[in-house]
Structure 1
Amino acid sequence: MIAITRFITAARTSWIVLVVGIAATAALFVAAGYQSADSAPPVGLPDSAESVKAAALQEQFADDDATSGILVFGRESGELSDDDLAAITERTVELGDIALDGFVPPPTVSDDGTTALVVVPLSIEDSVSAQAERADEIRTVAADGLPDGIIVWFTGAEGFLVDISAVFEGANFVLLGITALVVAVLLIVTYRSPILWIVPLAVVGVADFIAGIVARLVADAAGITLDGSVTGILSVLVFGAGTNYALLLIARYRDELRLITDRREAMAIALRGAGPAIIASGSTVALALATLLFGELSGNRSLGLAGAVGILVAMAYALIVLPAALVVFGRWLFWPLVPRYGSPDVISKSPWGRLGRSVSRRPVVVAVAGFALLGVFAAGLSTLNIGLAQNDRFIVKPEAVLGQERIAEAFAAGSTAPAVVIVPAGDAEEVLEGVLDVDGVVEARPGPFNDDIAQIDVVLDADPESAESFAIIGELRLALDDLGDGSGLVGGIDAEGLDLRDAQQRDQNLVIPLILVLVLAVLIILLRSLLAPLLLLVAVVASFFSAVGIGSVLFATVFGFPGVDTNVLLFSFLFLVALGVDYSIFLVTRAKEEVPMLGTSEGMIRALAATGGVITSAGILLAAVFAVLGVLPLITLTQVGVIVCIGVLIDTLLVRTIIVPAMTFIAKDRFWWPRRPELTDAEAAQRGADGQAERMPEPALTA
């Protein structure tokens, strides 16, 4: 490793590293190019899901390659007049130029006469931009020439797809811009320098750009689609982790500049000191993200693949490009707080060292109080409500939701998204009568059929993808077991939502234990200890539950969210545990480095003094970066951002700086069990006593 660090930092070769890095970046961009995600988030269910099997059987019908959008017409108050209905009917004729097969059925009017529905058959379009253009054209034609006072909303399957995709339209640029601004401000505050922040921000920005390209190439090779939500989270991950690594390296570099005259030698030593912690940290996060590849849902797999690739790219730029870029400049880069050779040791005066010494006096009291506080935070879990209906997933209600709410007022709530029942053709009549006896079924009508199978459309008395609709789908599936030959399948939007929820739960039950085992294994290998990794893992899991508890209370009281989306807990756990372990690694590896000279207790105090500032800065920065996810009007990403933000702050300000040192002081040398530290606390105390005795004057002799 010494040869590698010298090559990266030496006067003759650091330029080579920079030039090769720039050339490789440019070559990758020219060869692969940059493409924004132009696909909607996929359903991602496995072929074994019942709704997928039902959809596969639907392919036997002629209109399988079709989808539909629903236009909702109505006034703010009052019924639609005959002239209104005539104008709406005229719009259906004009919409024939856009619709599949050139025909749009006449409008359906609600019993109260306040609302008219027009179903527009459409061909399936994979491109998000093409879907958006078609939706705009439909809206324009539908509104053209309507009488004053009539409002039209575009909803249904196509309407929701367009509105969800619109959330991520330009999301990369919005997230990148705000994230870069937040990182720049926090770096300026951290370094108190008008210059230094530019170098790490530029390196991490390039890493984010390249990570997007590399992730897309790897995903294409693996047959995985990256949508806007994945690429948005990827930018947050790369900026957050990459900046954390930069903070750790630069902090170590600044310390070494006070001890060594040659800045290149100082960087080489800093890289050898911080490099193993960064490699261990980045590898842990990348491997934890890779556990999502074992999931059933393709959306989880795409995030796992892209995130793991992004972290590896961020780690490479932090360890190779950033050191070479920093040593090109002199010490003046830190102006006005330039670290001069021989200047006082700021670590010994660190407030974090004083905090550590205070904790060491009463470690049991501090640890109990710390975990009690985490327990109080976690008490908010009692308010946790998991599950969001389709209409509840947006912070600002888009047109599709407003249209769906208008339909729910005038028609059965599930009339725009009926469940699809596929049965053998000979059982169609029996099943049609039987499903009407299921609680929550408003209507059942025959659909397309052939010699083998028949489709029955079932309207539910519940909002699409709500807990009520899932319960009805479950009852419907149970009823089908006793109707006909028992082979009936239930599909449609609500069935897909139920299958997605169940698949997400299975992924969560699989991935969370994998993450815990993986993180524990990495810590055991890194620290060559069993007790320390277990204590660190307990602390980070406790901070996760605390964050979810606080988040649950905030969602219900401050944000007014009706519940927590099904995938929020898995993603929050993944990011918090994987990224939270970063700080454990930064702290404990430094303590391990100090133990041979100072012993366990004094080594932890010294490690806390050395890393407390950078861990706090990194934690605040990472929390702010994840909070940026809240700029998107999608509740799921906002909830992930809020929980991770809270969790990182708890982990940074309480767990890593107070609870972990307290547990170390309680365990003392047993913290490294079964390995014995090179210098035990007892030996360190004796060494200190011996040194004190040598410095004491000899007592005067008395007569």
Structure 2
Amino acid sequence: MPAQLDPETRTTDARYSSGVPAWLRVLIPVVLILVWFGAFGAGGIAFGSLTEVSTNDQAQFLPASAEATEVSELQQDFRDADVVPAIVVVSGDEMLDDDDLEAIDGLRTDLLAVEGIRADEASPVLVSEDGRAAQVIIPVDSGDDAEGPSVTVAELREVIDATTIAGTTIAVTGPAGFTADLAAAFSGIDGLLLAVALAAVFVILIVVYRSPLLPVIVLFTSLTALCAAVFTVVSLARADVLLLSGQTQGILFILVIGATTDYALLYIARYRETLAIHERKWDATWAALRSSWEPIVASGGTVVVGLLILLASELTSNKILGPVAAIGIVFAVLAALTLLPALLLWAGRAAFWPRRVAHAGEVEHHARHATGVQDASAPDEADLPDRGIWASIGRLVSHRPRSVWIISAVVLGVMSLGLAQLDADGVPSSEFVLGESQAREGQELLGEHFPAGSGTPAVIIGPAGDLQEMADVALAASGVSSVSVSVPAADSPSGSAPVTGDGIEALGPPGTPAPEPTVVDGGVLLQVTLSDASDSGEAEATIASLRDDLDEIDTDVLVGGPTAVALDTNSAAIADRTLVIPLVLAAILVILMLLLRSIVAPLILIGSVVLSFAAALGVSALVFEHVFHFPGADPSVPLFGFVFLVALGVDYNIFLMTRVREESQRFGTRRGIVRGLRLTGGVITSAGLVLAATFAALGVLPILFLAQISFIVAFGVLLDTFLVRTLLVPALAYDVGRGIWWPGALARGER
């Protein structure tokens, strides 16, 4: 028979359940669970639509003001914009003979029979000058779905696999080939990524709680929050409110699973405390919500604000991540504060089985020790044993605070030196996919025998009257192989004619007049074949130089094409990095000041996470360069890493400092710091391990960008968890003392 509560505890319990009849205490959790079950079902169905509403076309993420964007829009008036070129390259071990060329021509006929091919616009078999390779440029319908030309390219590759031309290597490359390889790399995002992330979280929760039921409840809460977020995001994408990409989708999955689990761990820690005080589950639930909602909402709000600041970005791929991920965090907070408490209210103490959580009658002395404290759920001194790792860390921080924080800061500073090795100015699109890529191998073959930019020309659009002058400038530019002009399809099957220093060349027999260029609104379109691969740094330098030279002819002359898209994307990403990072810091600083009612403590927290981010990025730069041998990084990688690490790193500091503030109100600042550290140590460490594991799961997808984000955030979170939040922040706060709360009332209290 349960022990009876003393009058003080009875009063506390009555305060929590007062005015809430028994039927309502049953109805509220039942309704919440049913609503979330509905969201789970709707989101499960929406998962199948993610691929349909997402795109990985880099050009769609450029700002409207970018020069490459303007060219892309103007191109639609000159030719069909719904076509993406695939380049089939055949490379021989020796010179291609007549039999080889006949077989390649037969292969071309078979390829043009594939559905989705614009056969009448395909090029003939083009043989290289060295006679050891041939290529066919095949226009592929971009299609109406998000997969674009991927299905068609897969069928082209099937035809090639069924063809044998002795002594040759055949590959499909070009923009269509790279799009197909990228789509294949993202194909595991729904199944493999989620499976790895959920498995990692489940194992950690089993180790932490040693309970069979609690991990299931937490994972169900996280997965339900994700389903609700996916349903919302897909609905907005269908309404053309949001634009989705594969990388945004992957980050959404990981962020929601990790954040929901983190918030769940914080609530569960409080719930276990309140179960030891309150005999009735409803009272324990209400007490846990009262003490955990503020840090959870503040933590989620900090992340949401940081993410929404990405809306200030120029680059659409950065801009769209903000609202998509923010939606995920909102559902993570809602699930942690509604679904999880409802499920734990249903499970009660059985959720922690086989561990035993004592009820109020067995620990009633806790309430008596809490005289004058409004929330009797707060642990008293008797709840803090003298032994254990967190007791030892607490003693270290309190006995040698200055030494601890100085050594911690020096260690982080040394790690930051690796920033000198950071190469984040962009990478070739051929390096986006890690591991095997037929398109990358095909491009290498193409570069060995043809101008490397074949099939993916730069595009110049300018006044028709300046045609020859524009062509002369382009032909004189270093890095340009040839120039052609757009002509009516009736004059040329390929829709273009070569332009030399003597004008447009005739396409027929000698004496045939040269075709007239296609003129649209007084403008003409030139195609410029580059000597270097279109996604190389050398090609980008050629485009930048061309733009400068052509501006001297007329500022209305525009240069676009795949290389220009990459160049403008990198420029916009670097500008975003410069703009967004200060805005995120300022916004989070304001939130922390409002939450902690202090100026000094937020400055310490912001400084610690910035130093932690620099250390994580410094170590990551060294690992990328010397361990993984990555070819560099996209300019958006440091930006995304910053947003996630600063926002999520502040999360753990919020968990810590809100508890420190609570304890400081009872016991004074320095004692409150040590108590807050000891009371939150276990839950924050577990949360850090969970978040690091979920972000590490991004590494299973063979995408360079996601692999780099995965490492930076996972390592940075572990650094925040085990060094910054455990040693640096508590030790520095302890050294400063009550001054950390300046100018708040606590700054004038006792130490």
TM-score in terms of structure 2 length: 0.86
Which AA in structure 2 matches 1:181?
A: A
Matches of 2:34 and 2:348, distance apart in 1: 24
Residue number in structure 2 paired with 1:124? 142
Could you give the per-residue CA deviations for residues 198-235 of structure 1, whole angstroms, max 9, x where no partner exists?
11111111111111111222344462222332222111
Is 1:357 paired with 2:395? Answer: yes
Matching of residues 648-663 of structure 1 within 5 Å = 648-663=717-732
Pick aligned residue for 1:465 from 535, 538, 551: 535
Residue number in structure 1 paired with 2:575? 506
Residue number in structure 2 paired with 1:690? none
Residue number in structure 2 paired with 1:428? 467
Residue number in structure 1 paired with 2:500? none
Q: Is the 2:39–2:224 contact (alpha carbons within 8 Å) kept by the matching residues of 1?
A: no
The range that moved more, 336-345 or 398-407, is: 336-345
Matches of 2:66 and 2:250, distance apart in 1: 28
Is 1:338 paired with 2:353? Answer: no
Matches of 2:246 and 2:586, distance apart in 1: 30
Which AA in structure 2 matches 1:40?
A: T
Could you give the per-residue CA deviations for residues 354-395 of structure 1, whole angstroms, max 9, x where no partner exists?
312212222222111111100111111111111211222221
Matches of 1:590 and 1:319, distance apart in 2: 18
Could you give the per-residue CA deviations for residues 523-546 of structure 1, whole angstroms, max 9, x where no partner exists?
011011111111100000111010
**Local SS of the residue matching 1:444:** strand
How far apart are 1:186 and its partner, in Å?
0.4
Residue number in structure 1 paired with 2:673? 604
Q: Is the 2:140–2:149 contact (alpha carbons within 8 Å) kept by the matching residues of 1?
A: no
Pick aligned residue for 2:322 from 301, 304, 311: 304
Is 1:558 paired with 2:573? Answer: no
Matches of 2:345 and 2:560, distance apart in 1: 61
Residue number in structure 2 paired with 1:313? 331
How far apart are 1:88 and its partner, in Å?
1.0
Residue number in structure 2 paired with 1:233? 251
Matching of residues 388-407 of structure 1 within 5 Å = 388-407=427-446
Matches of 1:286 and 1:83, distance apart in 2: 64
Residue number in structure 2 paired with 1:19? 30
Q: Which runs of 5+ in 1 are unaligned?
A: 683-703
Residue number in structure 2 paired with 1:41? 56
Matches of 1:545 and 1:3, distance apart in 2: 50
Residue number in structure 2 paired with 1:85? 101
Pick aligned residue for 1:369 from 395, 407, 416: 407
How far apart are 1:151 and its partner, in Å?
2.8
**Local SS of the residue matching 2:529:** strand
Which AA in structure 2 matches 1:296?
A: E
Pick aligned residue for 1:621 from 677, 690, 702: 690
The range that moved more, 391-400 or 672-681, is: 672-681
Residue number in structure 1 paired with 2:585? 516
Matches of 2:565 and 2:25, distance apart in 1: 54
**Local SS of the residue matching 2:63:** coil
**Local SS of the residue matching 2:527:** strand
How far apart are 1:8 and its partner, in Å?
13
**Local SS of the residue matching 2:90:** strand
Which AA in structure 2 matches 1:52?
A: T
How far apart are 1:567 and its partner, in Å?
1.2
Could you give the per-residue CA deviations for residues 117-161 of structure 1, whole angstroms, max 9, x where no partner exists?
110022331314463321122223344444244332111111111
Pick aligned residue for 1:640 from 709, 715, 723: 709
Residue number in structure 1 paired with 2:111? 95
Matches of 1:450 and 1:129, distance apart in 2: 32
How far apart are 1:593 and its partner, in Å?
0.4
Which AA in structure 2 matches 1:88?
A: I
Matches of 1:333 and 1:8, distance apart in 2: 27
Q: Is the 2:295–2:658 contact (alpha carbons within 8 Å) kept by the matching residues of 1?
A: yes
Change (3 A) 1:145 1:594: closer
**Local SS of the residue matching 1:408:** helix
Residue number in structure 1 paired with 2:189? 171
Aligned length: 679
Matches of 1:646 and 1:424, distance apart in 2: 53
Residue number in structure 2 paired with 1:65? 82
Could you give the per-residue CA deviations for residues 505-562 of structure 1, whole angstroms, max 9, x where no partner exists?
2222222122111111110110111111111000001110100000010111111101
Q: Is the 2:739–2:747 contact (alpha carbons within 8 Å) kept by the matching residues of 1?
A: no
**Local SS of the residue matching 2:745:** coil
Q: Which runs of 5+ in 2 are unaligned?
A: 1-12, 364-381, 488-516
Residue number in structure 2 paired with 1:630? 699
Residue number in structure 1 paired with 2:737? 668
The range that moved more, 219-228 or 593-602, is: 219-228
Residue number in structure 1 paired with 2:304? 286
Matches of 2:282 and 2:385, distance apart in 1: 22
**Local SS of the residue matching 2:339:** helix
Q: Is the 1:378–1:550 contact (alpha carbons within 8 Å) kept by the matching residues of 2?
A: yes
How far apart are 1:103 and its partner, in Å?
4.8
Q: Is the 1:5–1:271 contact (alpha carbons within 8 Å) kept by the matching residues of 2?
A: no
Matches of 1:679 and 1:253, distance apart in 2: 32
The range that moved more, 264-273 or 567-576, is: 264-273
TM-score in terms of structure 1 length: 0.92
Matches of 2:266 and 2:82, distance apart in 1: 54
Pick aligned residue for 1:251 from 269, 288, 291: 269
Matches of 2:576 and 2:353, distance apart in 1: 50
Residue number in structure 2 paired with 1:701? none
Is 1:548 paired with 2:617? Answer: yes
Matches of 1:540 and 1:678, distance apart in 2: 23
Matches of 1:146 and 1:543, distance apart in 2: 56
Is 1:438 paired with 2:455? Answer: no
Which AA in structure 2 matches 1:264?
A: W
How far apart are 1:18 and its partner, in Å?
3.9
Change (3 A) 1:584 1:15: same
Change (3 A) 1:352 1:30: closer
**Local SS of the residue matching 2:138:** strand
How far apart are 1:336 and its partner, in Å?
2.4
Matches of 2:406 and 2:287, distance apart in 1: 38
Residue number in structure 2 paired with 1:196? 214
Matches of 2:20 and 2:230, distance apart in 1: 28
Matches of 1:211 and 1:62, distance apart in 2: 39
Matches of 2:303 and 2:214, distance apart in 1: 27
Matches of 1:624 and 1:182, distance apart in 2: 6
Change (3 A) 1:23 1:337: closer
Matches of 1:475 and 1:81, distance apart in 2: 40
Change (3 A) 1:15 1:349: farther
**Local SS of the residue matching 1:169:** helix
Matches of 1:5 and 1:50, distance apart in 2: 62
